[in-house]
Amino acid sequence: MLRITVITSTSLLALLAIATAGLWGRSFWTGDQVGGILTRHLTNECVSWTLSVDTGRGGVRLYYSRVAYPDTAVSRPYWGLNPPGLRTFHIAYVNPQNPATQPNSRQIWSFFGFARQYETWKNFQDATVHAYVVPLPLVTLLLAIPSMLVWLGPYRRARRLRNNLCVKCGYDLRATPDRCPECGEVL
Ligand SMILES: [Zn+2]
């Protein structure tokens, strides 16, 4: 039962690793996004919370924003992949032609595909934005590690048995085929 669970979960992680590798290549061409917006209508303002995960330019971004705006415009919730109009995300998606989108304060930190974004807007909208970007190859690597460990174990064991080495520690057992003098493993 444990073995089936381990094989199933590592296979699933391996599939996810392959999927993120695919997303990495795709992210240079187009972005993908899943997320949701929750909007509450108050007496004379709307408050929207957005939580989304999107890809672009080799990275994956976790995005959170809280926006309050002084009207009752209805924003429709979305849930899907690659909404129309989304090509790639930008760490700072500021439109220089539109002063309403200029953040009052912005902290952008980026290093080798990692990035952190923090913005507050106090113009038309009262907004706070938090976002973190991680390079997709790192996600692929982390997802692949469990399956590599699980699949490399039997491979190493078979190779040691073939070469008359101790399956536990790799010590040469040609002189002592019954018991490993190094670690005491009984064969
Ligand atoms: Zn041994």
Centroid of ligand 1 to alpha carbon of 52 (angstroms): 50
Q: Quick: pLDDT tens for 147-186.
A: 888 888 888 889 988 988 898 888 898 888 888 888 888 7
> Residue 93: which pLDDT band, with cuts at 50, 70 and 90?
very low
- Write the CB contacts of 41 (distance below 8 Å, at least 6 apart in sequence): 72
Q: What is the pLDDT, as a whole number, of residue 135?
A: 92
Centroid of ligand 1 to alpha carbon of 145 (angstroms): 25
Centroid of ligand 1 to alpha carbon of 150 (angstroms): 20
Percent pLDDT > 70 in the chain is 77
Q: How many residues does the chain have?
A: 187
Which of the pair, 20 or 96, is modelled with greater confidence?
A: 20
Centroid of ligand 1 to alpha carbon of 162 (angstroms): 15
Chain centre to alpha carbon of residue 25: 14
Q: What is the pLDDT, as a whole number, of residue 140?
A: 96
Q: Quick: pLDDT tens for 48-78.
A: 888 888 888 888 989 898 888 776 455 444 4
**pTM exceeds cut of 0.75:** no
Q: Quick: pLDDT tens for 27-44.
A: 888 878 787 777 777 777
Domain boundaries, the chain: 29-135
Say how far apart CA 168 and CA 165 lie, in whole Å.
9
Centroid of ligand 1 to alpha carbon of 146 (angstroms): 25
Centroid of ligand 1 to alpha carbon of 173 (angstroms): 8
Centroid of ligand 1 to alpha carbon of 151 (angstroms): 21
Centroid of ligand 1 to alpha carbon of 165 (angstroms): 8
Tokens of 73: 């415009």
- Write the CB contacts of 105 (distance below 8 Å, at least 6 apart in sequence): 118, 119, 120
